[in-house]
Structure 1
């Protein structure tokens, strides 16, 4: 069931709300940035996401195809969400870092299904051979 979650970066300057059904699944990837940042996201259409405050506190990092905007708070460095447009996954999206959800319960995190993606080998729709480190 979809639920509105509140989220933020560590210092609280960036705040958002997102309508999410964690039971629909979350994702972890082994690409170069997700591996280093230990990303754990849930993807949604942009209309399910509202940036409440902190647009001016965000910095952006893009690489490779520039199809994703990796956003982080310029004060505390936390990556609360990102956005982009990838036709293969349905076009425009927002990906929220589930660990930045302020009102998610430990039970919700523990039971949220995780799909693994092999971004390291540009094989996004397959699970990598090893996932224990993700």
Structure 2
């Protein structure tokens, strides 16, 4: 199925093709604070249609996962996963006309994921 979406202010827009069968909620320290419902999308099926310059990148822990948010409105848009870099997690609440309650929710125990100590620790 084809989907489109934007951040809150519209500066960032995207499109992707995927069959969504569930949403994911992670409770790691980052996901727990942003409280996002994430849709899993193959990286090759996702494209930015507007706003590459508006995106800001946030890295933490190992620095492998790439978390993108809009630099204007601050909305988390998507991230490239650390454990499965061929997959993106897209903020389902940013998908146009999509009802997040239409799919089952899978909870991920991110709190138990390993963290990487800072180099000076």
Provide TM-score, normalisation by structure 2: 0.86
Deviations 1:82-116 (A, max 9, x none): 12452xx4x42211100000121x3xx22201111
| Aligned-partner SS, 2:111 | helix
Of 10, 18, 21, the residue aligned with 1:20 is 18
Query: Gaps spanning 5+ residues in structure 2: where?
Result: 115-121
Kindly indicate whether the alpha-carbon contact (under 8 Å) linking 2:18 and 2:42 is maintained by their aligned counterparts in 1.
no
- Runs of 4+ in structure 1 displaced over 2 angstroms? none
Counterpart in the other structure of 2:70: 73
Counterpart in the other structure of 1:52: 49
Q: How many residues of Structure 1 are paired with residues of Structure 2 in the alignment? A: 114
After superposition, the Cα gap between the structure-2 partners of 1:84 and 1:29, relative to the gap in structure 1 and judged at 3 Å, is closer
Query: Gaps spanning 5+ residues in structure 1: where?
Result: 124-134
Which structure has greater helix proportion? 1
